[in-house]
Amino acid sequence: MPASAGFLISPAMNKSPAPSVYFIGLGALGILYAKAIENALGKHSVTFAADKKRCERYKQEEIYLNDQRCFFNFVTPDESSAPADFLFFSVKGTALDDAIKTAAPLVNENTVIISLLNGISSEEILKKAFPQANVLYCIGQKMDALKQGSKVIYRDLGELCIGIPKNNQNPKLEAALRRTEDFFDSISLPYVSEEDIIHRMWCKWMLNVGVNQAVMINEGKFRTVHQEGAPRETMKAAMREVLALSQKNGVCLTEDEYLQYLGIIDKLNPEGMPSMRQDGVNKRRSEVEMFAGTVVALGKELGVPTPVNEKILQKVREMESNY
């Protein structure tokens, strides 16, 4: 489905009660997609669950997406009157364990869980934490949301790529995917249903390993890697190490996909920056372990040299040790 800047509620959504939609994590992607759903379903239709301290802080903030005010609900999980129909995880990888504890009271056997986290491991972690639920595989791509205080600025909304593994034999999970597609269609949320979602996740991971880390260690913006020079070459080399890993483990990314994702990077807002660099600006621990850390670990397991990501991992750890 093509991306769209507008989100209009469809007639179909008026025929049955709106689903209960929860988010864990008030980051850039959480606000971006929660606002898209709120625009379709109406004010106060999306709820963020958090601990009591965070809820009180969130309620005091005026949250905006570009120039649109967001009217989200904020509750502790114990205050929720019903389990989530759709539960989005939009935290950083470093906060996933705490987010799982927060979300536990919201989950039952009908809950569809969608992770907006970077990397290739959050879905497996969520499946272990919530075996009774329906964990879809998901990545967000082509967006350029930037959070500044309690305001998120974006130019490109991007799209969600969703799916289930090709070897899935669970009809309940297939039904959950169909239900999610119907919901996204009803609110005109941009998405793509992927036949091979694992392959697509590796494509996005390749992009993140390159652009997020290159911008981070060079303390720049997307324009830093748009122009020819050492930062761009580092980005490309880091991505090629993911490409090499994929050839060893059966995911088999292609040269065309490598070039395609370079093209996606080159269309990002030059003045924007990836979430990893935003962490650096705010002196927060980044997701480097999900990027270079995972690349290096897989390289050792598969016998693939990963010298560029080893240097990036060392550099980011040194940067963060000075926070």
- How confident is the model at residue 16, as a pLDDT? 67
**What residue spans in the chain does CATH classification 3.40.50.720 cover?**
11-195
CATH number of 11-195: 3.40.50.720
| Average pLDDT per 10 consecutive residues for the chain, totaling 323 residues | 39 64 95 95 92 93 93 89 92 93 95 96 96 96 86 91 91 96 97 96 96 97 97 98 97 97 92 90 92 97 98 97 92
Rounded to an integer, what is the distance from CA 30 to the centroid of its chain?
8
CATH 1.10.1040.10 fits 198-321, yes or no: yes
Domain with CATH 1.10.1040.10 in the chain: 198-321
Quote the DSSP letter at residue 134.
E
CA atoms within 13 A on the CB side of 62: 4
DSSP code per residue over 4-43: -S-----GGGGSSPPPPEEEE--SHHHHHHHHHHHHHH-T
Instruction: Take residue 93 and report the two structure tokens written for it.
Output: 């990888």
pLDDT by residue (tens digit) across 213-249? 999 999 999 999 999 999 999 999 999 999 999 999 9
pLDDT in tens, 63-108: 999 999 998 999 998 887 789 999 999 998 889 999 999 999 999 9
* Per-residue pLDDT at 13: 44
Give the DSSP per-residue string, 168-199: ---HHHHHHHHHHHHHHHHTT--EEE-SSHHH
